[in-house]
Structure 1
């Protein structure tokens, strides 16, 4: 709402602009709340982006805090607002912009109203949690929900010294990501002392032993003791006011708007977390509560109100990032789960590459998954993770490529900044584009660990599984059952040992040497394919498969 009001004033000095805010803060950084609880942002005042005085002095915008709009009379173009003391007033409008946001989901579970169960949506929420920890001397915390806010809360509670657990109904944290991409994050969180209880939803809450603390009961029959519980299982759009006014809602339950942010009433606009938007990749209606799109929507509504009609909201890619114990996970566009659900054809590749030149100190591995259209190479989505700087930078590059309708061939050619402490002459994004482009051009063929029955391939009469890493790597890291070892460093000399007349499935540690080996094999007449992502992706697929299915099918996860 604040972005809309400020933009309106920049476009007109004569418009009468008033903001009605239900709570005591007209503009605050709710993304910073977990970090205020953890002490990373020590001063509460730092979270205040703008106050009523600033809006009035800078923009001549009247702000009415602690004034909740409780009704809209569309015929009279009038709203009714209620103050904190219960007094009601009416105000006329020419144009109304709704930005009610989204409410934290609080399901009607047994014991949900017991003391010590909190949400994290507002500054008062953060204040209450800090006071509870200080007053009770809390030692154990349970975070219900493994999304963005859940993981940020878990990290900050661990920083405060609390024994912290994350309880998530799904078999993975960060549901927008594909499961194999968050396996390194699972391992990292556990290594930092944060317990993960995945695939087991909460059934209710009870007082702890002797009435001390809480017991979080799960659907699987487990009980987790805690001195405080953070209930952060998501949000749903706050559409009560809009619904009562007879405004049209969309199929996902949000306020329906057009590309100019108009509702079904031409005099009422809506922006932010309460509205449905178009998923930029699938074209489907979606609820994507992110700050960046919300701010753009506010500006677009202001432009249209002031007569700049061509201003349009083109949809959102859901570009987002989370940092947990210095581990970064970022994504843009559709996940593979989404592409499968909507039936959109796609290809995928994995790359595991250093974030900057390996010879410069501090280089570390960055894992990236790229999804693209099989024929055109149009980029459909990207996910990247790593315990290194620059993860989100690569996703930002891919995001911009997608906005321009770009393809993997564009990523192959994209020119990025290079110095050894920042990247490589062939950046991670370039390499991902090159690998995908090679697949589309037919220079190599790729499969993933999710594509085949690897036990059957390793033992079948017409197929063979080839590991081209060095023997020491196999001893140190392990190998896929049934694979035969033919290191790429000696492959040319040992070509006679390559199985004849069989389809060869080749892998290395991360995929690069597998590609080199496949090219050698193809050029001398063998039928060979590279397994994208190599052993690194195998481990991630194996772990995510076990979480999702509960068994490894008797092959140490090789049958995925």
Structure 2
């Protein structure tokens, strides 16, 4: 590895960086730390650099109260602390990679001539732009995207003019139920609005599988959110008698109540038009193609952040994906600076560890979900477990709804998802670390994790999921997925056995109409009530008792097949209407 403090041949270069938020600002600061003699120009299209974009919903909702805290760095602080030439409100209109120049205009001076910047190294950290599909009325007043601090301030100013705090709450629509969309739902309700969410997909939070997203959906409905899934927006119309309010018409024909505010969270796309015009290679969806060192197909041109495709290290091979997350973008920007100075650091890819808080629930995931694996034709199996966030005998334990996805023979971890009030993100962090360390489900069963009654259990949810997956691979238990239960139960040779206590069934309802209910503790003495020779599918509330029951029944030798219902009643009850 080259030593940048002694490698004089690389000193004194002119580095031009387009984009001044996560990747771009990280690259600029790191490059200055490596080389005091470099000329570093940072070009940002808006007025703010290095701002806390992930915190914007929380400022809108009032959880973050100091506007100054939203700017991690300012143009002035970058100039004074790092000696960086910061050009804000400046839009790049042309890149000439042959002559190594970047042409830009200052948008606060539209009549001014273009300014050309020469470079030795060019870094593209242009990020993404919100999707605004050509829906009639999408440019009406009161409709906002949320990309930068200007958008944030505009939303806050609009809210200031609404009659909040009265008996009749203003209505807001959030178009799109991704991570930012759901953060805005929570924060708008915190400000005192009634909220409708419209999502064209059949579920919220696309990175989660449907049964895990259903936990979030159920909680949102309980909080009073009007949730519309599987329907798209057809038109934005002016409300009768109120030009500033908007009626959202859906493709189903449904008309939503007039909205005083609409948030457009319909996804993002890479902001790469000028980059493609410069001959820098991009993928079919416009993402910049980079190698493992963050270098593009053009010499001395690098790229980082939301606008790039990176290696998918989980799928392996040449598989790439675009993962717009702040953490990877920051690391990529730092790595580019290192590589400009000869360190040859290799980016291993992104594992897509993500998290969102929706009211008191936290939903987190890492890796690939079932939909991705099916699309790629990769074999997988899943286990669902619902253990407590800490020892059950210590007050306050909350359920961690945990899904682990793995290869059914090798035990390779494909991904995991967790939803709960306490500790969901902690468990996904562990799985993310395990995946990056190439651990398998057998290793999860043996992980040594912190335990004290207020914060954990002797068998952590990660251990329990690993053990459950290990039982599947070792053949100690076979499973029926929740999505298959109704089809399987309709077969004449199948018996569905519910081993919950009678009081649980009376309180929470039957699993399915024809299920036999024999509590686990009575199973050995009442096994004769189950027709011999049948295929038996066993369920309980969360899965543990059903596993015990499957072992009892399987070892009796009286039944053709004994299977555990993956996810048990707790999962099936939320999504039974979707199959």
Matched, 1:297 2:332: yes
What is the CA deviation profile of residues 475-518 of structure 1, one whole-angstrom value per residue up to 9, with x for unaligned ones?
11111221111211111122222321112111111110001111
Aligned mate of 1:181, from 206, 212, 219: 212
CA distance in structure 2 between the aligned counterparts of 1:368 and 1:164, rounded to whole angstroms? 28
Matching residue of 2:59: 36
Aligned mate of 1:163, from 190, 194, 206: 194
Q: Does the CA-based 8 Å contact 1:459-1:482 persist in structure 2?
A: no
| 1:275-294 superposed matches below 5 A | 275-283=308-316, 284-294=319-329
CA distance in structure 2 between the aligned counterparts of 1:486 and 1:246, rounded to whole angstroms? 68
Aligned mate of 2:241, from 210, 217, 239: 210
Matching residue of 1:512: 544
Q: Does the CA-based 8 Å contact 1:458-1:481 persist in structure 2?
A: no
Matching residue of 1:110: 136
Q: CA deviation at 1:244?
A: 1.7
Q: CA deviation at 1:452?
A: 4.5
Matched, 1:530 2:564: yes
Q: Does the CA-based 8 Å contact 1:33-1:123 persist in structure 2?
A: yes
Matching residue of 1:133: 159
Matching residue of 2:473: 440
- Which stretch shifts more, 266-275 or 47-56? 47-56
Matching residue of 1:250: 283
Matching residue of 1:554: none
Matched, 1:144 2:175: yes
Q: CA deviation at 1:26?
A: 1.2
Q: Does the CA-based 8 Å contact 1:252-1:287 persist in structure 2?
A: no
Q: Does the CA-based 8 Å contact 1:458-1:465 persist in structure 2?
A: no
Matched, 1:194 2:225: yes
CA distance in structure 2 between the aligned counterparts of 1:269 and 1:451, rounded to whole angstroms? 48
CA distance in structure 1 between the aligned counterparts of 2:64 and 2:109, rounded to whole angstroms? 32
What is the CA deviation profile of residues 516-555 of structure 1, one whole-angstrom value per residue up to 9, with x for unaligned ones?
1111112221431111221111112314x1xxxxxxxxxx
Q: CA deviation at 1:69?
A: 2.0
Matching residue of 1:472: 503
CA distance in structure 2 between the aligned counterparts of 1:439 and 1:19, rounded to whole angstroms? 53
Matching residue of 1:3: 26
Q: CA deviation at 1:14?
A: 2.1
CA distance in structure 2 between the aligned counterparts of 1:496 and 1:192, rounded to whole angstroms? 46
Matching residue of 1:55: 78
What is the CA deviation profile of residues 338-366 of structure 1, one whole-angstrom value per residue up to 9, with x for unaligned ones?
10111110011100111111111111111
Q: Normalising by the residue count of structure 1, what TM-score does the alignment of the two structures yield?
A: 0.94
What is the CA deviation profile of residues 431-453 of structure 1, one whole-angstrom value per residue up to 9, with x for unaligned ones?
00000001111122222122344
What is the CA deviation profile of residues 9-49 of structure 1, one whole-angstrom value per residue up to 9, with x for unaligned ones?
22222222121111111110111111111111112111101
| 1:410-449 superposed matches below 5 A | 410-449=443-482
- Which stretch shifts more, 466-475 or 431-440? 466-475
Matching residue of 2:4: none
Q: Does the CA-based 8 Å contact 1:458-1:483 persist in structure 2?
A: no
What is the CA deviation profile of residues 29-86 of structure 1, one whole-angstrom value per residue up to 9, with x for unaligned ones?
1111111111111121111011122222322222122222221121111111211203
The 3-state SS of whatever aligns with 2:248 is strand
What is the CA deviation profile of residues 100-147 of structure 1, one whole-angstrom value per residue up to 9, with x for unaligned ones?
110100111111111111111111111111111212437111111100
Aligned mate of 2:300, from 267, 285, 288: 267
Matching residue of 1:552: none
Unaligned runs of 5+ in 2: 1-23, 165-169
CA distance in structure 2 between the aligned counterparts of 1:49 and 1:241, rounded to whole angstroms? 28
Q: Does the CA-based 8 Å contact 1:252-1:286 persist in structure 2?
A: no
Matched, 1:342 2:376: yes
Matching residue of 2:392: 358
CA distance in structure 2 between the aligned counterparts of 1:317 and 1:335, rounded to whole angstroms? 12
CA distance in structure 2 between the aligned counterparts of 1:281 and 1:439, rounded to whole angstroms? 21
Q: Does the CA-based 8 Å contact 1:278-1:316 persist in structure 2?
A: yes
The 3-state SS of whatever aligns with 1:107 is coil
The 3-state SS of whatever aligns with 2:448 is coil
Q: Does the CA-based 8 Å contact 1:24-1:65 persist in structure 2?
A: yes
CA distance in structure 1 between the aligned counterparts of 2:460 and 2:490, rounded to whole angstroms? 34
CA distance in structure 2 between the aligned counterparts of 1:223 and 1:529, rounded to whole angstroms? 46
